[in-house]
A and B are shown apart, each in its own frame.
Chain A
Amino acid sequence: MSAPEWTLESLAGAIRTKSISPVEAAQQCLARIARLDARLRAFITLDAEGVLRAAKECEAEAAAGHWRGPLHGVPLAYKDLCHIRGLSTSCGTKTPEYFFAEHDCTAVARLSAAGAITLGKLNMTELAMGPFGDNVHHGHAQNPWRDGHVTGGSSSGSAVAVAAGLAMGALGSDTGGSIRLPAACCGIVGLKPTYGRVSRAGVMPLSWSNDHVGPMARTVRDAALMLQAIAGPDPCDATSSGRAVPDYLAGIEAGVAGLRVAVPENFFFRGLHPEIEAGVREALRAMEKLGARVVEMTIPDPQAMNDVATIVSRCEGAAAHARLAREHPEQIQPVVRARLELGFRISAYDYLQALRLRARLTRAFLREVYADADVLVAPVIPEPAPPLAHAIDGTVEELTERQGRFARLTRSFNGLGLPVLALPCGVSQAGLPLALQIVGRPFDEATVLRVGRAYERAAGWSSRRPVE
């Protein structure tokens, strides 16, 4: 078995049984990066020396019978907004050292403590502001399934690296869909955990109220393994929850028999590309065959939460990046600058009313949806990954409008703070991935993963690989 076929779990198992060494695994990833990344542009910073040094240490420790944790020797890579000592953090901007934090990113530190080794830092939309994954400063990441199509964003490099087998897993961040959109466009699994489940300490803020850090992986089990390592309270992040972290793999194979799966009748299936709708509805039929009780439901209007989340994100993004916006506006892509500018125009009154309204809408959503359902299933992207020109050609107004439309199915769940798993549910006639999202109750990542795993096992989409 070699890198294109590995999953994080299978590689970790092969290292544990010594059928492959951490150095061989790292070398295979580096060889693939050398061969493919000039075209794919997944990486902003590759730490070839660092990863080989770490792999040798892991190998020596394994030889001595010492295992750091369940990810011992597994090469991972991280979105370039995670602060890691010794590596620069551009956040997709023109400035190589844009973001610095007092501590290493907690999520990366926890993955390292579990044994993972760091390949480098991954491409992303500038300042994580945009759903397509384009970046003029570091090169537009390429969709591994079809050249010339977007990867989804903002965690573009994370999705590409995982889909193309350059890294066995990656971290992304999600403020309006930035884990789920690229996961959907690139045919991988992405998990936005509950707000507060995973520490954001050491990660560039875009919107303190809507930011989430989460795993991007080839399979649902891989995502669960990564979540297990990174979830839990962190004194460095005041918003992290003290709630106990369950064993995410314990019930993951339990199937969906008897679980109630809600399908929203309103909003989510309006104006969809027919292949996306067909893919999601076919997946729902598959879940029903597996024993789930699928029920249609009218849910509280997601557009209201979309607007609330956008108001909050624009204000907080403008506050977080005011210095760059004021001192070097010429360095920011026009469409990103336009989003920042909007934040400066929103009054404190409207910002605070939006935060108050968010709480009201969240209570209503939880009460009305989860009284009769265990999870909600909906599409992630309204169409398969569009051509790159759709993301970069046009006026700022046209691009902003396209961005809003592309992210309209994901943003409300950032406002709601709920756990959401995106995973593949088919392939379009043009060879591009289709995807669905599974939305759970607060802190119930275990059920979301269980439903995702049952569908993944039955459908098998996660074992498909892009042609090289």
Chain B
Amino acid sequence: MSEQPSQLPSQAKGRQSELANLLGVIERAGDLALSEEPSRFAAALDEAAAEAASEAKR
């Protein structure tokens, strides 16, 4: 999406810096292994729930 015409240079700079701050988290994380897929999120929830259930049974 293009910049809004009414946007001031200081606003554009502020948003650029907001974006850079956010994206820093990806840089800091370092390399991600090939096996680290987005779908592993849902699997993590399911596995943790299953582990908790089996612990409760024990």
A-side residues, CB < 8 A to B, are 194-196, 239, 241, 243, 304, 307-308, 310-311, 314, 318, 322, 325-326, 329, 337-338, 340-342, 344-346, 350, 352-360, 362-363, 366, 370, 395-397, 400, 417, 441-444
Kindly identify which residue among B14, B32, B48 contacts A397, using a CB–CB cutoff of 8 Å: B14
Chain B hits for A243, CB < 8 A: 46, 49
Nearest CB in chain B: distance from A38 CB, A: 34
A239 to B52, CA, bound (A): 21
Kindly identify which residue among B4, B40, B44 contacts A341, using a CB–CB cutoff of 8 Å: B4
CB atoms of A356 and B32 under 8 A apart? yes
CB atoms of B37 and A311 under 8 A apart? no
A396 to B21, CA, bound (A): 17
Contact with A along B41-54 (1 / 0, CB 8 A): 11111101100100
CB atoms of A358 and B52 under 8 A apart? no
Q: A318-B1, A359-B37, A359-B40 are in contact. Are A304 and B45 (CB under 8 A)?
A: no
Query: In residues 1-35 of chain B, which contact A (Cβ within 8 Å)?
Result: 1, 4, 11, 14-15, 18-19, 21-26, 28-29, 32
Main secondary structure of the interface of A (DSSP, over half): helix
Chain B hits for A345, CB < 8 A: 1, 15, 19
CB atoms of B19 and A342 under 8 A apart? yes
CB atoms of B38 and A352 under 8 A apart? yes
Q: B34: nearest residue on chain A (CB-CB)?
A: A356
A123 to B30, CA, bound (A): 42
A338 to B11, CA, bound (A): 10
Kindly identify which residue among A241, A307, A395, A443 contacts B22, using a CB–CB cutoff of 8 Å: A307
- 16 additional contacts, CB 8 Å, given A310-B22, A357-B29? A304-B29, A311-B22, A311-B25, A318-B1, A342-B15, A345-B1, A354-B25, A355-B38, A356-B38, A358-B41, A359-B38, A362-B44, A363-B40, A370-B52, A417-B41, A442-B48
Q: A338-B15, A341-B15, A370-B52 are in contact. Are A356 and B45 (CB under 8 A)?
A: no
Q: A306: nearest residue on chain B (CB-CB)?
A: B25
A362 to B22, CA, bound (A): 18
Q: B28: nearest residue on chain A (CB-CB)?
A: A304
CB atoms of B25 and A307 under 8 A apart? yes
Q: A341-B4, A356-B36, A357-B26 are in contact. Are A441 and B41 (CB under 8 A)?
A: no
